[in-house]
């Protein structure tokens, strides 16, 4: 088989795979997730888009529970981007120390807030291009903020839980988070992008866990390509 024929065969296979997953997601995965989680809010606590942006940045390599404990007092002390900019470096580091990697996170927060003030007048931009232009803000963070704080579906937040569940259910052939997001965006209806991400995070935490997945309780166990093999 020549190179052109091989390429054509691969294209058909990829197209067929995407079509199959679109049907599986819309007809099986989403309906089952809705049965489990009629509403799927983030575990992070926030009152506005800026607070959620800060919380998501702090959540890297940290549990949401610990972030919520830190932000409970943090948001009383730092109420605006300018407050973070004006903060003493060492003091800010100490305030966020329990979230881990506090020096790097403090730098990211300050850099992010500086650009928010300089370019966006202190307001969190409401599109993914501007949001991802902020230091320390990738597509995952931007999608979470837009979808949950502003109900704007411009992306699917692929965190470690979403990535794990998608790989186990074979809902994408991609392994890279950004590429997986783009692949999922072809199969998940846009109006469900935020819900899908949030629900998959909950499902990954509660059922399809990393070390001890509860396969016997999984609504997808009848067709899941990797039941019990992950235990």
d(CA 170, CA 21): 8
Is 130 an annotated catalytic residue? no
Question: What residues have CB less than 8 Å from 157, skipping those under 6 apart?
Answer: 139, 140, 141, 143, 144, 147, 181, 194, 197, 201
110: closest CA among 133, 90, 81, 138? 81
d(CA 18, CA 75): 43
- Tell me which of 95, 115, 159, 163 is the catalytic residue: 159
Q: Both tokens of residue 186?
A: 């072809």
d(CA 128, CA 139): 7
Is 2 an annotated catalytic residue? no
DSSP code at position 60: T
Backbone angles phi, psi at 90, to 5 degrees: -65, -35
- Tell me which of 105, 110, 140, 163 is the catalytic residue: 140
**Cβ(225)–Cβ(170) under 8 Å?**
yes
Buried b or exposed e, range 210-231, using 16+ CB within 10 angstroms: eeebebeebebeeebeebeebe
Active site residues: 140, 159
């Amino acid at each position: 088989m020549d190179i052109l024929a091989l390429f054509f065969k691969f294209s058909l296979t990829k197209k067929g795979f995407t079509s199959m997953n679109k049907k599986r997601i819309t007809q099986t995965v989403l309906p089952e997730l809705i049965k489990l989680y009629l509403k799927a809010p983030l575990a992070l606590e926030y009152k506005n888009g800026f607070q959620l942006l800060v919380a998501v940045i702090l959540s890297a390599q940290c549990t949401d529970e610990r972030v919520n404990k830190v932000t409970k007092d943090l948001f009383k002390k730092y109420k605006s981007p300018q407050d973070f900019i004006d903060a003493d470096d060492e003091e800010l580091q100490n305030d966020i120390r329990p979230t881990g990697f506090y020096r790097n996170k403090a730098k990211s927060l300050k850099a992010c807030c500086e650009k928010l003030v300089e370019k966006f007048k202190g307001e969190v931009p409401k599109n993914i291009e501007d949001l991802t232009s902020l230091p320390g803000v990738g597509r995952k963070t931007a999608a979470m903020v837009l979808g949950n704080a502003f109900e704007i579906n411009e992306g699917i937040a692929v965190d470690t839980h979403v990535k794990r569940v998608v790989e186990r259910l074979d809902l994408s052939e991609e392994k890279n988070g950004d590429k997986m997001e783009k692949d999922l965006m072809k199969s998940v209806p846009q109006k469900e992008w935020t819900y899908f991400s949030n629900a998959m995070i909950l499902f990954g935490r509660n059922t399809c866990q990393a070390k001890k997945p509860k396969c016997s309780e999984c609504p997808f166990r009848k067709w899941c390509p990797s039941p019990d093999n992950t235990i």
